[in-house]
Chains A and B, each alone.
Chain A
Amino acid sequence: MKKCGVMSVIFLAAILLAGCWDQRELGEITVVTGMAVDKGENDKYILTVEGINATELNNRTASGFAPSIVYSAEGNSLAELTYRVNEGMSRHLIYSHMRTLIIGEELAKEGIIDFIDFLERNREIRDDFNILIARGAKGSDVLKVTYQFQKSTSLKLHTQLDTMMKDWGGDPGVRMNDVITAWTAPGRQPVMAAVRIKGDPEAGASAENMMKVTPDALVVLDSLAIFKGDKLEGFLTLEDSRNYLWIQNKINKTSITVKCNESQYMGLRVYDTRTKVKGKLENGKAKIDIKIRAEAYIDGTHCNDQFDKAKTYEENGEIAQKQINDMVGKTIEKVQQEYGTDIFGFGEVVLRQDYQNFKKVQNNWDEKFADADIQVDTALIIRRTGIRTKSFLKEVK
C-alpha cells in the first residue's frame, strides 16, 4: 500500500508539475518557413517573417489566394521581434519549420554576428536552415515573391538549393551551423549563397505571379557571397561557387564543358569525384596541394571523335583535366588577389597537418593565404560515352 502511494505520488508529480505550457493546437498556429533580416531605418533590424497559409499549399483545399503572409517589424533584437510580429499576425508563429534565412545585402555588409546568437540559442529554431544573402535587394522583398510549385519563396529556395547542389553544385550548401563553424574555427571564413530577384519585386509579390508562364519576378540563385569575419566582402560567380564546392569535396555530380576543338565543345558529366587537400608552411610561405580525382561520362560532343579506342578517352580526359586545373586555379587566384580571405578552409588543413608552424601565423593567416602557393592537380577518367560509342556526326553528308 505504501509502495502504491509512493508510485502514485511520483506519477502525479510527473504529470501535474510538468504542465502543458507549450501546447499549441494546430488551429492556433501559423508555420513560419522563411525569415528575412534587413537593416532597420530607425532601429537596428527589420525582421520579416513568412507565415504559410497551409490551406493554399494543399492542392485539394487551395482556392488561388496568396500562399503565405509576409509581415515585417522593426526593433533592436530579433528575440523580441519574433513575438512582436504578432502585432500584425493573428496566430502563434512556430519557427521550428523555418527553412530559409535571408539577409539583406546592406545589413550583411555591416556585420551579422549579433543576431545569429539568437538563432542558435532559440529552442524552436533549427540550426540547419539555409542562410542566404539577398544581392541588390532587401531580404523582405525576396520573401514576398511567389512561385508556381512550392508557392512560397522560402520553400522554393530550400528545394531549389538542394536540387542545384545535387545536380550541378552552384549552392555552397551552407547551413547556419556551417557559418558558425567557419567563424569559430581558425583558418576559415564563411561563405553563403546569394540570391537576387529577376524581374519586378512589386509584381512578384502577388498570387498572379504564380499563374504566369514567365513570372513577373523570380528569385534566382545568383552567386557566392564571401565574408571576412561577419562582414560581407563581395560576390563570386556561380561557376566559382561550383569550384568552391569542388575544393571542399562536396560535389555530388556536376557537368563541365570542355573545349575539344576550335569553337567546338564537349559536355562531360562528372559523377564521382573526390578532393584531397594537403597543406604546409615552408619558410613562412603556405604550400597547398589540391588533388582532384574525378570520373565522368561524355554527355554530348560537337567534335566527331570516335570513342571506340582507349586512346580517344585518354586524350579527351587530358583536355578536361587541364581545364579543371585552370578553372579551379583561377577561382582560388581570384579570391587570393581580390579578397584575401580564406573561404576554402586551407588554414584548417594546415592547422591539422602542420600545427606547429600554423600556430605562429594563425593570427595573420589570411595574409599568408593571399600569397600562398597553390597547386591544383586533377586526374579525370572518362568511363563511358552515354548510350552511343560512335557519333552520327561523322556520317552526316
Chain B
Amino acid sequence: MLIYLTTMIDTKLLKETILQSISGKEDGFNLTTEDDLKSLCKEKFGGAGYQLVGSFDEIITSLLYGNIIILFKDMEKALSLSMAIGEDRSITEPSTQTVIRGPKDGFVESITTNVSLLRRRIKNRNLRFEKFIIGSETNTSVYIGYMEGTANEKIVGEVRKRLGQIKVNAIFESGNIEELIADKSATPFPLALNSERPDAVASNLLEGKIAILVDGTPFVLVVPAVLVDFFSIAEDYYQNFMMGSFLRIIRYLSFMIALITPSLYVGILTFHHELLPTPLLLGIIAQREGVPFPAVIEVILMEVTFEILREAGVRMPRAVGQTVSIVGALVIGQAAAEAGIISNIMVIIVAITAIANFVSPTYSFGAAARLLRFLLIIVSAILGLYGVLIVLVFIVAHLSSLRSFGIPYLSPVAPFIIEQQKDVFFRFPIWSMRKRPAYLKTQNPEKFPKTGSPSPPPMKGEQSN
C-alpha cells in the first residue's frame, strides 16, 4: 500500500520511479523478512533517501516531510522514501546585500539548496553540518554548519545547547532563532550576523564562526558576531585594499552620521550657538526666521515623517511604489520648507541622516542607529551636547557589556587585540592577514603560512631574495 500527501510530493517523480519499478513486476515481490526488504531497497532505491520506519508516529512525521510510505503485507516495517516537492525559488541575486563585484548568487528558501551552496564554496571534509528540528508545531529543520578543527568546540557546544533549549511552537525565520539564542534581548544591537550571501557565510565559517541555517528563509545567521562585523562586507576583500579600507571608514562615518546628526543639530541650535562659524549661524537664523516650531519639534516631525515614508515604501504594493517616492519627495522636500513649517537646512539634515543610514551593510544593524537616534534627539533637546555625550557614553557602556556567545561584542577593539586591527577600521592586503580572529580562540589560529607581498621577478643581475 502506498501512502502519501499529494500536496507534499512530486507526483511526476512518483510516477516515473516508484510506480514503474513496482508495478512492472507481475509476480510481486517475494518478501518475508526485514533483510529481504533491505536488500530490495538497496537494489531498487540505491542512492535515494530511503528509510525503514516502524511506528505510527514515524510514519506521520515522514509523510509531513514529503516522503511516501510503502506498506508491505506481513511486514513490521514500512518503507519511507523521500520525494519532497522540488519546486523552489531559483537561485537569484540577493535582494538586500548587493555587491558590484562579487558572486551574484544568494541563499534561497530551501535549506538543502543553501547547504549545497556552502558545500560548493568550501570543498573541505572538515565542513560539518548538524541537523536540529525546532518548533514543537512547525518541526522546522535547522542546520548548524562549522569547520571542524577550526571552530572553537566550546562555542559550537554552546550553539548546540542553546538550539536544543529552544521550546517554542513555531520557527518561520532565522530572526526567531536569533532572538531565542541571543545572549541578551534588551538591546537594539543585533547579536548575530545575518547574511543572504553564501560567499560571506563561507568566509565567516573559515574564520571559525558558526552558521545557522533555517529552512524556509534565505537569511543565514552567523555567530558569534562582534560589532565590527557589521561594518565589513564581502566586497571589501574583492577589491583593492585601499578602496576597501576607504569604504569601510565611510561606513563607520555613516553610522555616526546616521546616529548623531539630528541630535547635533538640535543641540547646537538650542544651546551651543558659539560652536558655529558666524556666517553659518547667521545663515541658519535667516532660514529659520518664521519657522514656528522649536528645533527639537522640527527634527522629530521630520524624522518621524521620514520613518513613515520609509515604512510605506517597503510595504507599498510594487505597483504604487512610485507614488510614495513622489509624494515623499514633496513632503520632506521643498514643499515643507516653502510652507514655512521647517527650514531648508532641516531637509539636508534628514536627507543626510537617511542616506547615511542606508549605508549599513546589514539591515538589522541600521535599526540600532534608527532607534537610538530618537533617544539622542530628545536628550539633546533637554541637555544639549552634554546630553548627547552622556547618551553616547551609555551606548558605549552598553556595547561593552554585550556578549555574543561569550565573545565581547566590542572585540577586537575592547579588549584590544593589536593583530586583529588589520581587519577593523582598515583592511590590510590579504597576504598580510594570516590569523583568524584571536577573540574566537580557534583551534587553528593561522590561516596560511607566512608569505610576502607579491613582487616582480628580479631583474637581470639582481640578487633574488
B390 touches which of A15, A55, A58, A97 (Cβ 8 Å): A15
Binds A, one of B219-227, B234-242, B270-278, B349-357: B270-278
Q: Which of B273, B278, B288, B383 has the most CB of A within 10 A?
A: B278
B269 near A: Cβ within 8 Å?
Answer: yes
A61 near B: Cβ within 8 Å?
Answer: yes
91-116 of chain A: CB within 8 A of chain B:
94, 96-97, 99
A23 adjacent to B289 (CB under 8 Å): no
1/0 contact string of B357-391 vs chain A (CB within 8 Å): 00000000000000000000001011110110010
Report the minimum CB–CB distance from A142 to chain B (whole Å): 19
B206 near A: Cβ within 8 Å?
Answer: no
Report the minimum CB–CB distance from A209 to chain B (whole Å): 20
Name the B residues within 8 Å of A26 (CB-CB): 269-270, 273, 284-285, 288, 295
A31 CA / B285 CA spacing, docked (Å): 9
A15 adjacent to B387 (CB under 8 Å): yes
A54 adjacent to B273 (CB under 8 Å): no
Name the A residues within 8 Å of B386 (CB-CB): 18
Total CB contacts across the A-B interface at under 8 A: 84
Residue of B nearest to A99 (CB): B278
Interface size class of A (residues with CB under 8 A): 20 to 34
Residue of B nearest to A33 (CB): B278
A57 adjacent to B295 (CB under 8 Å): no
1/0 contact string of A35-75 vs chain B (CB within 8 Å): 00000000000000000101101101100000000000000
A31 adjacent to B383 (CB under 8 Å): no
Residue of B nearest to A123 (CB): B274
Name the A residues within 8 Å of B287 (CB-CB): 58, 61
A322 CA / B271 CA spacing, docked (Å): 56
B291 adjacent to A27 (CB under 8 Å): yes
B99 near A: Cβ within 8 Å?
Answer: no
B271 adjacent to A22 (CB under 8 Å): yes
Report the minimum CB–CB distance from A263 to chain B (whole Å): 46
Residue of B nearest to A25 (CB): B294
B278 adjacent to A24 (CB under 8 Å): no
Name the A residues within 8 Å of B282 (CB-CB): 31, 52, 54, 57-58
Name the A residues within 8 Å of B387 (CB-CB): 15, 18
A124 adjacent to B289 (CB under 8 Å): no
Q: Which of B273, B284, B390, B394 has the most CB of A within 10 A?
A: B273
Report the minimum CB–CB distance from A327 to chain B (whole Å): 36
Report the minimum CB–CB distance from A23 to chain B (whole Å): 5
A99 CA / B270 CA spacing, docked (Å): 21
Name the A residues within 8 Å of B281 (CB-CB): 31, 54, 97
B283 near A: Cβ within 8 Å?
Answer: yes
A24 CA / B387 CA spacing, docked (Å): 16
B286 near A: Cβ within 8 Å?
Answer: yes
A155 adjacent to B278 (CB under 8 Å): yes
Report the minimum CB–CB distance from B464 to chain A (whole Å): 49
B382 adjacent to A20 (CB under 8 Å): yes
Name the B residues within 8 Å of A20 (CB-CB): 270-271, 381-384
A96 adjacent to B286 (CB under 8 Å): no
Name the B residues within 8 Å of A27 (CB-CB): 288-289, 291
Q: Which of B281, B288, B294, B394 has the most CB of A within 10 A?
A: B281
Report the minimum CB–CB distance from B396 to chain A (whole Å): 13
Report the minimum CB–CB distance from B52 to chain A (whole Å): 54
B274 touches which of A60, A124, A155 (Cβ 8 Å): A124
Name the A residues within 8 Å of B379 (CB-CB): 15
A18 adjacent to B383 (CB under 8 Å): yes
Residue of A nearest to B285 (CB): A54
With A14-B390, A15-B382, A26-B269 known to touch, is A55 a contact of B274 (CB < 8 Å)?
Answer: no
A392 near B: Cβ within 8 Å?
Answer: no
A124 CA / B291 CA spacing, docked (Å): 26
A96 adjacent to B384 (CB under 8 Å): no
With A54-B285, A155-B278 known to touch, is A96 a contact of B382 (CB < 8 Å)?
Answer: no
- Taking A57-B283, A97-B281 as known contacts, 6 extra A-B pairs with beta carbons closer than 8 A to each other, sorted by chain A number, are A24-B273, A31-B278, A31-B282, A33-B278, A58-B286, A124-B274
Of all A-B residue pairs in the complex, the 4 with the closest CB atoms, nearest first, are A96-B274, A58-B286, A54-B285, A54-B286
14 sampled A-B residue pairs with Cβ under 8 A: A14-B383, A24-B271, A24-B273, A25-B270, A26-B270, A26-B273, A26-B284, A29-B273, A31-B281, A55-B286, A61-B289, A96-B273, A97-B273, A97-B274
